[in-house]
Amino acid sequence: MTDLQRVTVLAGGVGGARFTRGLLAHLKDAHPDGTGGSRVSVTVVVNTGDDMTLDGLRVCPDLDTVMYTLGGGVSEEQGWGRADETRRVSSEIAAYGRGWDWFTLGDLDLGTHIVRTELLREGATLSEATEYLCRRWRPGARLLPMSDRPVETHVRLGEAADEHPAGSLIHFEEWWVRYRAGVVATEFVQVGLESAEPAPGVLEAIRDADVVMVPPSNPVVSVGTVLNLPGVREAVRHTSARVVGVSPIIGGAAVRGMADACLAVIGVETSAQAVGLHYGARANGGLIDGWLLDEADAEAVPALVDAGLAARAVPLWMRDVPTTARMASEALDLASRA
Ligand code: FO1
């Protein structure tokens, strides 16, 4: 696609951040602007459903994961949080019996939460606070929170867990981190969704893009959360952009995290084919035009094509940036043919 100018990515945390890093690397190479950058502008619409207020601070896990990953400060082995992190302050907070002892806010990471919280208290929107933080990290893409209003994902427990009775709602991060998604969940509830709206620029970023990408983020609690915001699903369905997705499932297993546990909650099988069909072909009222899956799942291509999707099987393991850049290139090529 030679006349590519604008790409919009609907992302969650680690998978979306790593994919976008590869996309930016590919665009610099394929569409250079002559000064070491790319002439293609990239907007990342980021899930804020994992956000929480903890120790009096507003914590935005997915926005920070994308910002640190694209800005070069992320802990590579964790995929989230800062490199060279220490935990002196969180140990002190725990010594006072405060905080979540199963959720560590590192010392460097706390710097981000303190500045963000101060900006919000001064009246900045989350979009403005994010833009301010990105002046330091220079991610090479525009980061937009999906909404400037809090829309936290909470999990309805299907069984009791510690102090939580069956049927109660707990924050997604408690289910995800404290319980490793190992406690039966019956539904995800987006608290505040009914009074939320997409952040400024989100709908335009989807409508005005040449390509909209759905990276290998969690299709339920990350991408799904973004899509559930009023107007977003419609914007994706009707954009003149080509819409391509990348499977977060390879060979029947979630590449990262516990996406299979989330898919089970909404009754979707953990397979590249099932997730592709879950998003659905725009030709048949769905959300995507193309679906990239791993070579291990190549046998699913005919069924996906029959469902109206342009499907292609390529290596999807994001081993390193060059490998991910090739994946992004394949996704863009699929978009140009979808
Ligand atoms: N994940 C963990 O497994 N354990 C943690 O203690 C933890 C702390 C944490 C702090 C800040 C932050 O931005 C992310 C953090 N995460 C932690 C990762 C987090 O669960 C994920 O980034 C997403 O929210 C889920 O994909």
**C-alpha distances in angstroms, 137 versus 41, 130, 272?**
17, 10, 34
User: Ligand 1, atom 3: nearest CA belongs to which residue?
Assistant: 177
Mean pLDDT of 162-183: 97
Mean pLDDT of 315-327: 95
pLDDT of amino acid 1: 60
For residue 51, pLDDT beyond 90 = yes
185, 155 contact by CB (below 8 A): yes
For residue 74, pLDDT beyond 70 = yes
| Statement to judge: residues 44 and 74 lie in one domain | yes
Residue 125 inside a domain? The answer is: yes
DSSP 219: T
Q: Is the pTM of this model over 0.95?
A: yes
pLDDT of amino acid 257: 74
DSSP string, 256-302: STTHHHHHHHTT--SSHHHHHHHH-BGGGTSSBSEEEE-GGGGGGHH
Pairing relationship of beta strands 242-246 and 290-293 according to DSSP bridges: parallel
| Statement to judge: residues 248 and 297 lie in one domain | yes
pLDDT of amino acid 324: 97
pLDDT in tens, 255-281: 877 889 999 999 999 999 999 999 999
User: Ligand 1, atom 26: nearest CA belongs to which residue?
Assistant: 13
pLDDT of amino acid 2: 65
How many domains would you assign to the chain?
2
Residue 1 inside a domain? The answer is: no
Residue 318 carries which side chain, given as an amino acid letter? Answer: M
Rounded to 5°, the CA angle 65-73-4 comes to 65
DSSP 1: -
| Statement to judge: residues 116 and 215 lie in one domain | yes
pLDDT of amino acid 7: 98
Percent with pLDDT over 90 in the chain: 95
Pairing relationship of beta strands 211-214 and 185-191 according to DSSP bridges: unpaired
| Statement to judge: residues 73 and 130 lie in one domain | yes
DSSP string, 70-111: HHT-B-TTTSSSBTT---HHHHHHHHTT-S-TTS---HHHHH
| Unique residue bearing structure tokens 């406690």 | 183
User: Ligand 1, atom 1: nearest CA belongs to which residue?
Assistant: 177
216 lines ligand 1 (CB under 6 A): no
**Burial, 76: exposed, middle or buried (Cβ in 10 Å; 0-12, 13-18, 19+)?**
exposed
Mean pLDDT of 152-178: 98
User: Ligand 1, atom 2: nearest CA belongs to which residue?
Assistant: 177
228, 193 contact by CB (below 8 A): yes
| Statement to judge: residues 306 and 214 lie in one domain | yes
As a whole number of angstroms, the distance between CA 216 and CA 267 comes to 19
**268: domain CATH number?**
3.40.50.10680
For residue 104, pLDDT beyond 90 = yes
Instruction: Give the ligand 1 atom nearest the CA of 177.
Output: 3
For residue 16, pLDDT beyond 80 = yes
| Statement to judge: residues 173 and 227 lie in one domain | no
Q: Sorting pLDDT into bands at 50, 70 and 90, what band is 328?
A: very high
pLDDT of amino acid 3: 85
Domain boundary among the residues 160, 191, 222 is at 191
pLDDT in tens, 120-133: 999 999 999 999 99
The residue range of the domain holding 55 is 6-147+195-337
Residue 225, classed as helix, strand or coil, is helix
**What is the distance in A from the centroid of ligand 1 to the CA of 61?**
6
Mean pLDDT of 161-188: 97
As a whole number of angstroms, the distance between CA 88 and CA 217 comes to 31
Mean pLDDT of 146-165: 98
Mean pLDDT of 189-205: 97
Beta partners for residue 212, in sequence order: 8, 243
Residue 251 inside a domain? The answer is: yes
Instruction: Give the ligand 1 atom nearest the CA of 176.
Output: 20
The residue count for the chain: 338
What torsion, rounded to 10 degrees, do the Cα atoms 64, 314, 279, 39 define?
50
50 lines ligand 1 (CB under 6 A): yes
For residue 223, pLDDT beyond 90 = yes
Residue 156 inside a domain? The answer is: yes
**What is the distance in A from the centroid of ligand 1 to the CA of 65?**
9
- Other beta carbons less than 10 A from residue 35's beta carbon: 7
145 lines ligand 1 (CB under 6 A): no
For residue 225, pLDDT beyond 90 = yes
